[in-house]
Amino acid sequence: MRKAARLLLMLAGVFIATICGFLLVVPFFGVGWHAFHADYISYAGWKIPVPRDYYVRQEKEGAAIWKLSFGAPLFDVPFSHVSFFYGAKPFVGTSDAERFFQGISGVATEGGYQFKGKRIVSIGTKTASCFEFSRSGKQPRSLMSCATENDNIFPFFEGDARYIPEFLSTLSGMSQESATENGDVKQSGP
């Protein structure tokens, strides 16, 4: 009986140590990604800087940049998720930006978000209309979706509002490339 109890106690200890180890490693995914890759990715003809402490995942819809806090993914902790989507039709002018707003506004409202404001931001040498939404309660508490004028790239942010300045800094640090195939993610560096 004592052997079984000791074995059970050891297994519980290993299980708890594994969970704690995983929770401690998660915030360092970004450091590891930068050590093996570099400071930017290429996607859809754009060179996109990857902020410190962020890591990149190729997702079905496009490139995604993540920053996770201690406790993720088990607990409701602040995080940052930035995705870049490559679309078929660029918007041109105010009427298209309003149509883009109507489309994302409906989805955000269904998720419990309220419209917070519109920002015009620089993306490389171009401008984009970015629409910000927020909600109280569980993460993600903030959304921001952008449409780049006269281009087909659509940046999207979800996470905690404290990471919005990093998102905007990433957008302003983007630059267009001449020889990248649209839709491909290439991780590279200096």
Q: What is the mean pLDDT of residues 102-116?
A: 91
Name the pTM for this structure. Answer: 0.77
Question: Residue 160: is its pLDDT beyond 90?
Answer: yes
Residue 64 domain flag: yes
Question: Residue 102: is its pLDDT beyond 60?
Answer: yes
Neighbours of 100 (CB within 10 A): 18
Residue 132 domain flag: yes
Query: How many domains in the chain?
Result: 1
Domain CATH code at residue 166: 2.60.120.1690
Residue 114 domain flag: yes
What domain range includes position 134? 29-188
The DSSP line for 75-97 is S---EEEEEEEE-SS-B-HHHHH
Backbone angles phi, psi at 119, to 5 degrees: -130, 140
Contact call for residues 102 and 145 (beta carbons, < 8 A): no
Instruction: Give the C-alpha separation, 136 to 167, whole Å.
Output: 20
Neighbours of 185 (CB within 10 A): 18
